[in-house]
Chains A and B, each alone.
Chain A
Amino acid sequence: MTAGYEAVIGIECHVELRTRTKMFCGCVNEFGGEPNTKICPVCLGMPGALPVPNAAAIEHIITAGLAFGAEIPAFSKFDRKNYFYPDMPKDYQISQYDMPLTRGGAVRYWLEDGTLKECALTRIHLEEDTGKSTHAGSGDGRIAGSSYSLVDFNRAGVPLMECVSEPELHNAQEAIGYLESLRRTLLALGVSDVKMEEGSLRCDANVSIRPSGSSELGTKTEIKNMNSFRSVERAIESEIARQIEVVGGGGRVVQETRGWDEVNGVTHPMRSKEEAHDYRYFPDPDLVPLEIAHERVELLRTELPELPWQRFERYTAQYGLAPKQATQLLDNLSLATYYDRVVDASGNAQQSSNFVLGELSRLANETGVAVAESSVSPEHVAELIALVEGKRINSKIAKELLARMWSGAGSPAAIVEREGLAQTTDPAAIERFVDEVLAANEKVVADYKAGKTNVMGFLVGQVMKSSRGKADPAIVNELVRKKLT
């Protein structure tokens, strides 16, 4: 970033909630399907049809609010946001205006180096999603030049969470950290699939800049059309650079909505403030105000799982994992849960991480079976760790055993016992292997003595081979060196 300026960023996310049915009707809430097959009079906005709120969706929002430490007001209501759009069945969206389900709270997140940060939330509210338009006849699916449009209402009426942050982020990395943490948290809470590629997470960024040290907010632009975390990162960086260039060149930033152009890597104007809609919000007379029972909120609070940033702190501060390892684990909730079980059984957080993120993850990638779904139980991994730590087997044998366990071989201790795979640590036994190898490789020994010390590795390897891998490599090394000098 150019010196002298600080960026100020706020993020607005729309997250489709995971519920059995849609927000205001009994239609199934699931992604995809043949167009217009998951619809009914209510979500089509047929004349006379009325909305009835989905209690599970309301509880999802409250749960999310509790996870972020938000206030849950005792009273809330739905409002109508009025504007005409072909994929909005009623030409108004049922949303929440001045009495959202939650207020305040904060998302705790961390950066790549492990620094924990926090970004305050303004509010989280509940609304309904719109349908989806497809523009035909223009060749590229864009509305410009299209001859007609088709609307699929399968998505119309899907419960949608809107989560608005305060402008407390200052660069693209913080924005990504915030989004990652939000995504992980909602996943952990089970309230959404949070898949950007399926549109169940969509976000816009409000970006402004100001002279470093200033506390005033500059004029902001709203960036839309970002369809991956990577494009959020690029769009924010590009927009900050653009604003600095405008201001640096003596110009002024215009308040407007800008679209992110993924191909050209720039934002371009979409509409200015003057064109902003007057949404004519008013309380939806089809829905009665919501009274949120305190006891219910407290019950939901007790049901909160350990949250990702709490887990991150546990992994780094308590377990001593590197931030990168902790993040890798948290990127995959089932893996993290598996890891926790391995740690519980082994008592060795670092080795558990090495196995889970190392060999087990490699096997998972190779076979396409998730670690948690594999036939390797966390208890058996703990057994394996105990064998390695107790120097009963070396890491090479451990790796081989793990591959066999992946194929269903069961307890590693039992295999070691049955097949006599235990590591040989008896120096006398190992010395016999060493003597044999040195005797059989006179020329190599001579080379070593002539100064070609790099042949040492070959000799050690030969000893390991003749011990069928069971010899303790540290003792082998020591003995070979001693015998050669």
Chain B
Amino acid sequence: MRREHIEKSAAEIAAQVRSGRVSAAEIVEETLAHVDLVDGALGSYLTVLADAARAAAVRVDERVRGGEQLPLAGVPLAVKDNMCLDGTRTTCGSKILERWIAPYTATAVARMLDAGAIAIGKANCDEFAMGSSCENSALGVTRNPYDPARVPGGSSGGSAAAVAAYEAAVGLGSDTGGSIREPGAFCNLVAFKPTYGRVSRYGLIAFASSLDQIGPLTRTVEDAALAYDAMAGYDPMDATSIDRPVEATASALREDLRGLRVGIVREFDTKALGPDLDRIYRQAYGDLERLGAEVVEVSLPTAEYGVATYYLIAPAECSSNLARFDGVRYGLRVEGNDVRAMYDKTRAAGFGPEVKRRILIGTYALSSGYYDAYYVRAQKARTLIARDFAVAFEQCDLIACPAASCPAFQFGAKSDPYSMYLMDYYTIPMSLAGLPALSVPCGWTTPADGNLPMPIGLQLCTPLFGERLLLGAAHAYERATNHAGARQPVLDGVRA
């Protein structure tokens, strides 16, 4: 199978399409042929938009010929299936929306398309973005391109797998407590969650509104910057989007870290992650220092309450956000003798166990008599966690820490919900504080239950609106280390 163009970065593809050396149509044909070949086994996509992608390519080629300098000209895009794209099936990985056709397009998606990207398909995810392995999708299994016996991570697992397997150059994910960063780390990608409010949530089907944030999954830091620059900025359709100028990040990519102070979190002791990961992270922190950064120790004393806090706030919001899936206006309806019975049967049949669990937890946390003890306390804890970061950032410009506590695991390995929740231990605190954070490949480890080395992600995080610094620093680290290039995904031997 020829993969002449699609293994290139989004930046390279767009440059070639802009220059006319290759057409968007050729990129799309090569991508679709590749998807045809590998996706039966990988399951990145729930819906492949072959016809729409071909039509979009024609328009992009016309715009390029018309002289438009499209930053993402012809770049194949995987859209997580919790983002609306007008006229396409948008399922959230749930039976309740299995046949729902979105009547409008999410702002972030529209901006990517406007920048020249071409939506190849809607990518699998944990149902309503609730999960860390994609195993909670009711509509299909997605495999990790670096070891098909393992999960791609989640909830944006389909987007991550698609980009890792060259089925797209950019994947759009949504991150509520780590749903971009963790699958990005599992799939050897750059995985970036911007500051809350930087990218519009309009058209992103809500899980937890105060935490959800759209961001890119890419194979290079530069691609993440290009995608972010295309998507970021105020949207009058989202009252929580921030009306503040966006400074381009693609022009802020650095080659070193001189003059920067990097904080290592005392409470995130990597020894607890085993000797292999401990070595990888120590090496990574050392590399940051070698790039010119001053490494300092900082403290996030309340970060350990992140998971507990998150699992009150996120379910509380989701219990309300998911109420609308009631069978009245759209989506699945299972008839009953009266409207109450219809609600009960529809939601019983339409939602999977994890979604139901979180709706129950959230309903309980908001109930009269429990509200103060759970929801209000969780909000107070959230404030304390954000304050911890503010204090830490008085001593450093960036924080470096693990993205996940382990590499991609085998299917079924985390059957206990709580062990799955702990997957987001290192990513949740940043989400609660609304901070921009990303995962960048930092090494490989061969898990005890396998024989293929699996990627590990280093998480970097800055204060609010620190995207230029964040992507700039990640770029310096990526260029100096190039961990991502150490292995290729398993594509040729993959069979369903």
Contact = CB atoms under 8 A, between A and B. Distances in A.
Contacts of A280: 319-320, 363, 366-368, 371
A91 interface: yes
Given A90-B324, A149-B339, A47 B90 contact: yes
Nearest to B201: A50
Nearest to B202: A50
B432 to A, nearest CB: 13
A92 B343 contact: no
A52 interface: yes
Nearest to B364: A280
A48 interface: yes
Contacts of B83: 48
B167 interface: no
B323 interface: yes
Nearest to B331: A47
Contacts of A49: 104, 202-203
Interface string B83-116: 1100000101000010010111010000000000
A446 B210 CA distance: 101
Given A84-B343, A285-B209, A50 B368 contact: no
A14 interface: no
Interface string A260-296: 0000000000000000001011100111100000000
B149 interface: no
B316 A282 contact: yes
Interface in A33-60: 41, 44-53
Interface stretch (B71-79, B235-243, B449-457, B485-493): B235-243
Given A41-B104, A278-B368, A50 B323 contact: no
Nearest to B209: A285
Contacts of B147: none
B360 interface: no
Contact of B103 (A45, A46, A91, A285): A46
A53 B371 CA distance: 26
Interface residues of B, number: 44
B281 interface: no
Contacts of B236: 52
B244 interface: no
Interface in A1-60: 41, 44-53
A89 interface: yes
Nearest to A280: B366
Interface in A139-184: 149, 151
9 contacts: A45-B324, A47-B97, A48-B84, A48-B106, A50-B237, A82-B323, A91-B323, A91-B324, A288-B239
Interface of A: 41, 44-53, 80, 82, 84, 86, 89-92, 149, 151, 278, 280-282, 285-288
Interface of B: 82-84, 90, 92, 97, 100, 102-104, 106, 201-206, 208-210, 236-240, 316-317, 319-320, 323-326, 328-330, 339, 343, 363, 366-368, 371, 375
Given A50-B201, A280-B319, 13 more contacts: A46-B329, A47-B92, A47-B102, A48-B83, A48-B202, A48-B203, A50-B240, A82-B319, A90-B324, A92-B323, A278-B368, A280-B368, A282-B371
